[in-house]
Amino acid sequence: MNPYRAKKYMSKILFAVLIAVLAIIFLLPFVVMFTTSFKTMEDAFMVPVRIWPREFTVENYRKAINKIPYFSYMGNTAYITLLSLLGEMLVVPMVAYSLAKIRWKGAGLISGLLMGTMMLPFTVTMIPLYRTWHALGLTGTYVPLIAPHFVGNAYYIIIMRQFMKGLPNSLFEAATLDGASEFQMYLRIALPLCKPALTTVGIYTFLSAWSDYLAPLIYINKKDKMTLSLGLQQFLNEYTIDWTQLMAAAVIFVLPILGLFLIFQRNFVEGIATAGLKA
């Protein structure tokens, strides 16, 4: 082998090693989570730590789903998530259509406002919102968690608007000549063409509703109404934390998200790139 090729070969190997090491580091917390969830208590509390359990047990899973009403919490979380999804799916494309495809006086102003509201921290509006929902007697219900999704999230609208801008105007012009109303064009032309962006927004909504923490924390005050992210917290409130059970509970919590992500990876990645570069 000539020295030039040898050098090239070496740098290829170095690169592969570097990538492998980094990938292992990023995967470690997942590995720790999964393996701990199958460990016996003795294995988990052993020094030095061994990553691989000496014996696999599913006992932790059995105990974890009995310690808290796991599937009832999962049902609550799924209920909130699905209704939030419905809300965003109904509203986001509509508003985006108004901004991307209808020429009207307010479009520019709204586009500007979107950016500002996207950055508005929930902690800033949290107290008045809490008071309002409380006055309406709706704290302790899921309404304060779901209702905000029925007005459309600014970030999702921006992603969707960007996508709709890319749809050829000629389609809409032809339909206008045929006498189609704006709503017909939205329903028959824009919406079917927006499926990729809709999927992206859907996944983001699912993810954020499924994982939401602060809002359920302040609004949900009864144990039987809790979501999974709050339920998980109960494992930490014990005097001594049983990490094997907690990790088992975390695995079941995380699995739907992981599955969804692996299936729809492409939408995820493209949505982020679009919003990050062009917002």
Window 69-128: residues binding another protein (CB under 8 A) = 91, 94-95, 97-99, 102-107, 110, 113, 115-117, 119-128
Shortest CB 66 distance to another protein, Å:
19
**Interactions with another protein, residue window 248-277 (CB under 8 A):** 250, 253-254, 257-258, 261-262, 265, 268-269, 272-273, 276-277
As a whole number of angstroms, the distance between CA 210 and CA 77 comes to 6
**Interactions with another protein, residue window 196-215 (CB under 8 A):** 207, 210-211, 213-214
Q: Is 64 among the residues that bind another protein (CB under 8 A)? A: no
Considering only residues 9, 30, 56, 71, which one is a binding residue for another protein as defined by CB under 8 A?
A: 30
Q: Is 148 among the residues that bind another protein (CB under 8 A)? A: yes
Shortest CB 95 distance to another protein, Å:
4
Tell me the DSSP string of 200-259. HHHHHHHHHHHH--HHHHHH--SGGG--HHHHHHHHHTSSS--HHHHHHHHHHHHHHHHH
Locus of tokens 């209702």: 147
As a whole number of angstroms, the distance between CA 248 and CA 14 comes to 37
Shortest CB 195 distance to another protein, Å:
19
As a whole number of angstroms, the distance between CA 93 and CA 9 comes to 51
Q: What is the H or E stretch that residue 94 is in?
A: helix 70-101
Q: Is 237 among the residues that bind another protein (CB under 8 A)? A: yes
Considering only residues 13, 26, 170, 222, which one is a binding residue for another protein as defined by CB under 8 A?
A: 26
Pick the closer one to another protein by CB: 193 or 207: 207
Give CA separation, 7 vs 1, 2, 3, 20, 21, in Å: 10, 9, 6, 20, 21
